[in-house]
Structure 1
Amino acid sequence: MVAVSDSATTSLPPERRRRLLETAAREFAAAGYEQASLNRIIRACGMSKSSFYYYLDSKRELFELVVRELSDSLVRQLRIPEAEEFAVDFWASTLRLLERLADLAEREPLFTDLGRMFHLPGVPTGHGAAVDSAVAAAEGWLDRALAAGRARGAVRDDLPLGLQRHVTFAVLRAFDEWTLRHLAALERAESERLVRAQFEALRRLLAPRHETEENA
């Protein structure tokens, strides 16, 4: 079960608050941001409109809350090490992280809903928006991990770091978006092959030429 951190809804009883976040995540992931119905969410939670608006002002505020709290929970459960520690054994660390992420997505459907929410059109953006903040945090960590990997010789250094991070993040997002779109049709063995394929794509993109040749 996903833990719920402090927020504007902290005075809600824990079970009602968790139900609100889980129901909202499913609605946003299934219907999209624009088409998601606040009325459906409220009814499914057994809340009155007046009760909902006592805690939150709008659908946008609810969306921001769901993204922020589920993202925080995902990061905690992934136990992502500091970039310098990650780079000690860069490629083994990369594979372990991808495998843990896939395992969490399988065990906790809310993280699958969260992933879909990051790819929705029309979501709130701009300064302080939850999606933008989460992406910026991920990009910042990736910058540090790539820099540490380059310093240790595990990552090629013939490209500007910013470009390398941009291309790496694009590959990760492409795999994530495709997998989420086809998740219902994927068997476990296929999901495991996708994780390995994602790892190999990153290694071919980032590893120094001599390392990719040795592992070919």
Structure 2
Amino acid sequence: MARPAQPLDRSREDDLLRTAARDFASAGYAGTSLNNVITEAGWGKSSFYHYFANKRRLHDHVVHTLAARLVDGVRVPDIEKVSGAEFWVTMAELVEAFGKTARSHPETGYLGEMFHAPASDDDGSLAELREQVEQWLRRAVRHGRRVGAVRDDLPDDLLVELTLGTLRTLDRWAVRRRLHPEAADAPHLSIQLVRDLIERR
């Protein structure tokens, strides 16, 4: 995990974090100017390089920090221990918990924009995060099928792709509207549409 070489003052870190996250979200890794980030955040170059070796270390720090804030207080269940009767309730509670945390930490919206941007060779820790999320969702769908909560009339890999595609689309929609009241309804909408697609009838 990428961490600064030295502890950072929280307010100065937040200035840098938000500025960098905004630029990475809008321009991507390659399109973000490190000099602009440093200047706009009110940092000097010498101060920046005291904490971060380069843009890659800053990018990975942004990804790890915002991801940590997004999961703060969220209990991710051990999916293999969830019964069929509890499966959809557990999924709804998890999605709602993430939505609540995202509303408490609006800066995590930048992570959402980064997460849903087209994949690039420069993604670094972002690619690892995408892989972790996808693998957890694959386990969840497959377990749901085993316990009778997920339909079994479609191929396993198609169910996974339907779930991932739906969640990506809805999460992109919610991220783009994070400053508007309807974003608060996104968790309920997400889980209901996924259920409509893959729940066993």
- TM-score range (shorter-chain normalised) is 0.7 to 0.9
CA deviation vs aligned residue, 1:163-207 (integer Å, no higher than 9, x gap): 2212211110000112222333x32xx334433222221111111
Matches within 5 A, 1:85-164: 85-87=81-83, 89-121=86-118, 123-125=120-122, 129-164=124-159
Superposition deviation, residue 132 in structure 1:
1.5
Distance 1:99 1:155 in 2: 20
Residues 76 and 196 of structure 1: is their aligned pair in 2 closer, same or farther, counting only changes over 3 Å?
A: closer
76-85 or 24-33: bigger deviation = 24-33
CA deviation vs aligned residue, 1:116-153 (integer Å, no higher than 9, x gap): 11123475447xx2122111111111122122211211
Q: Specify the alignment match of 1:197 in structure 2.
A: 189
Q: Secondary structure at the match of 1:153?
A: coil
Q: Specify the alignment match of 1:212 in structure 2.
A: none
Amino acid at match of 1:95: A
Structure 2: state its 5+ residue gaps: none
Q: Secondary structure at the match of 1:77?
A: coil
Superposition deviation, residue 19 in structure 1:
4.0
Kept in 2: contact 1:87–1:152 (CA 8 A)? yes
The correspondence for 2:39, drawn from 40, 43, 63, is 43
Kept in 1: contact 2:29–2:122 (CA 8 A)? no
* Length-normalised TM-score, structure 2: 0.83
Distance 2:118 2:143 in 1: 34
Q: Secondary structure at the match of 1:79?
A: coil
Superposition deviation, residue 39 in structure 1:
2.0
Kept in 2: contact 1:9–1:17 (CA 8 A)? no
Matches within 5 A, 1:32-71: 32-71=28-67
* Length-normalised TM-score, structure 1: 0.78
Superposition deviation, residue 31 in structure 1:
4.6
Kept in 2: contact 1:33–1:120 (CA 8 A)? no
Distance 1:93 1:122 in 2: 30
Distance 1:203 1:151 in 2: 16
The correspondence for 1:20, drawn from 16, 41, 64, is 16
Distance 2:38 2:184 in 1: 37
Residues 201 and 135 of structure 1: is their aligned pair in 2 closer, same or farther, counting only changes over 3 Å?
A: same
Identity %: 36
Distance 1:140 1:203 in 2: 19
